[in-house]
Amino acid sequence: MNGFRGACLIVSHDRRFLQRTSTGMLWLRRRQLLRHEQGFSAFEAWAESTAIAEARDNARLETQLKAEEHWLRRGVTARRARNEGRRRKLDALRAERRTRLQAGARARFTAEGGAESSRIVIDAKNVSKRYGENELIAGLNLRVMRGDRLGIVGPNGSGKTTLLELLLKQRAPDTGEIKHGESLTVAYVDQARKALDPDATLWDTLTPSGGDQVMVRGRPRHVASYAQEFLFSPAQLRQPTSALSGGERNRLALAVAIAQPANLLVLDEPTNDLDMDTLEALEALLEEYEGTVLVVSHDRAFLDGVATQVVGPVGKGRWAESPGGWSDFEREHGGFARQPTARREAAQPVRLARKPTKLSYREERRAHELETLLAQLAAEIASLERALSDVNAFDRDPAAFEVNAASLVGARARLSAAESEWLEIELRREQFSADK
């Protein structure tokens, strides 16, 4: 894409892709479009300085917003120190993994008894799997130890899901053997979050046996306190999961999985729909998780932040393992082989239409309509959220509660669509101004 000579507008969750391709940023923040003349690699510093400046101004006006209060409670200095501590711990784990791989040839011939065998979570030896003429996995040898964070990467259709199912013994290999450690229990967060009941409230989802306590790896926690770690407010606990956004559903699925008495956590695309703050919270959560993690992800920056090793396809059914994150895998194995690109047909010359120099009357009128609509939808959503936050609302009138929950989902969807349309118009307006 860097060879393309035209202009590009890119919307992506892939932070590494944005770092490599972007030369500027547009940030839609609280219905304001902010612009920065540097690429995405400068986003964190820009976001930090923006938040500090706004917090300072808001404190002066005594109208501090909740989001900025949250930011200040975390503290920029403490955040930076915590990230450095997390990086040192991850580097130590990766160094340990690199040492084990270097000694792997000897380790496979040693006796695997007692405490050593309990440290082995999954041991795959000479595993192969093919479908017809397509050999997805050929002669794979992979050992996952207790505490490892294994990232599984690869293009769509390369066999990531097949490999995951083989490692979990949900699918049998054509050849080879896969062994599990003793007393292995699995908590699985699938990409579709199918485990969540759309009619259940957050409270009921986190406490399926009733009461107000969540058993988190054998220790009782109050449901409100535990939910707050995943950025849910007490007012949201009585909302049905159907009223949650995609990112909120993702966070809830993670909260349910972490609470299970499992020693192997399996995450399938866990970063989908997550904003920057939630991504950081997820990385911190995985750092504190005491078990082993298998994670399938396209988010290369996320893998750089959490994985102790990465395994991915390198061609002809062969899979390679590299200690570290995605950057280490790419440096050692060159990433993935590029797929051949279909030859483009010669384009026929076309007569170019006269380029507009300003927004049309219809677009200007629609922009004003959208501004009014956005304010109305924001007020409607706030009113519905207040109604649903009443802890007695469901008991008092279940039917009205369900109607309000459904209305909230619809209002949020309309708000998202209206914001997208408004953003497109404003981007066109800004482009016309830049061309003058």
pLDDT tens per residue across span 130-156: 888 888 899 999 999 888 999 999 888
Q: Give the per-residue pLDDT at 150.
A: 93
Domain residues for 223?
A: 186-262
Q: What are phi and psi of 217, to 5 degrees?
A: 50, 45
> Tens of pLDDT along 370-389?
888 888 888 888 888 888 88
CA atoms of 260 and 216, how far apart (whole Å):
7
Name the residue type at position 120: I
Of 237, 262, 287, at which residue does a domain stop?
A: 262
DSSP E strand stretches across 132-206: 134-145, 149-152, 175-180, 186-189
Prediction pTM value: 0.57
Of 210, 228, 262, at which residue does a domain stop?
A: 262
Of 262, 280, 307, at which residue does a domain stop?
A: 262
> Tens of pLDDT along 59-90?
555 444 444 444 444 444 445 555 666 667 67
Q: Is residue 253 part of a domain?
A: yes
- Do 285 and 254 meet the contact criterion of CB atoms below 8 Å apart? yes
Give 307's DSSP letter: -
Would you report the helix, strand and coil content of the chain in percent, each value rounded to 5? 50, 20, 30
- Do 271 and 13 meet the contact criterion of CB atoms below 8 Å apart? yes
Q: Give the per-residue pLDDT at 107.
A: 35
Q: Give the per-residue pLDDT at 310.
A: 92
Whichever domain contains 386, its CATH number is 1.10.287
- What average pLDDT does the segment 162-175 reach? 91
- What average pLDDT does the segment 188-192 reach? 76
Give 268's DSSP letter: E
CA atoms of 234 and 271, how far apart (whole Å):
24
From the list 232, 207, 202, the residue with the least C-alpha distance to 220 is 207
Phi-psi group of 273: left, alpha or beta (phi > 0 → left; psi -120 to 50 → alpha; rest → beta): left
Q: Give the per-residue pLDDT at 291.
A: 84
Sign for the CA dihedral angle at 409, 371, 11, 16 comes to negative
Q: Is residue 284 part of a domain?
A: no
Give 238's DSSP letter: G
Q: Give the per-residue pLDDT at 81.
A: 52
> Tens of pLDDT along 389-411?
877 778 788 888 888 888 888 88
Highest mean pLDDT among 216-220, 327-331, 342-346: 327-331
Q: Is residue 287 part of a domain?
A: no
Q: Is residue 343 part of a domain?
A: no
Q: How many CB atoms lie within 10 A of CB 261?
A: 10
Counting runs of H as helices and runs of E as strands, what totals does the chain give? Answer: 16, 13
DSSP E strand stretches across 217-290: 219-222, 264-268
Q: Is residue 42 part of a domain?
A: yes
- What average pLDDT does the segment 286-307 reach? 86
- As beta bridge partners, residue 32 has 29
Q: Is residue 242 part of a domain?
A: yes
pLDDT greater than 70 at residue 436: no
Reduced to 3 states, what is the DSSP secondary structure of residue 290?
coil
Q: Give the per-residue pLDDT at 359.
A: 76
List the single range of 95-104, 120-129, 247-256 with lowest mean pLDDT. Answer: 95-104
> Tens of pLDDT along 108-117?
322 233 333 3
CA atoms of 25 and 18, how far apart (whole Å):
9
- Tokens matching residue 220: 């009782």
Q: Is residue 370 part of a domain?
A: yes
Angle formed by the axes of helices 276-288 and 43-61, to 10°? 110
Q: Which residue has the higher pLDDT, 354 or 427?
A: 427
Share the mean pLDDT of the chain.
78
Reduced to 3 states, what is the DSSP secondary structure of residue 366?
helix
Q: Is residue 369 part of a domain?
A: yes
CA atoms of 24 and 17, how far apart (whole Å):
13
- Tokens matching residue 414: 């309309």
Banded pLDDT at 126 (limits 50, 70, 90): very high
- As beta bridge partners, residue 318 has 315
From the list 36, 31, 68, 30, the residue with the least C-alpha distance to 51 is 68
Q: How many CB atoms lie within 10 A of CB 407?
A: 17
What is the number of domains present in the chain? Answer: 3
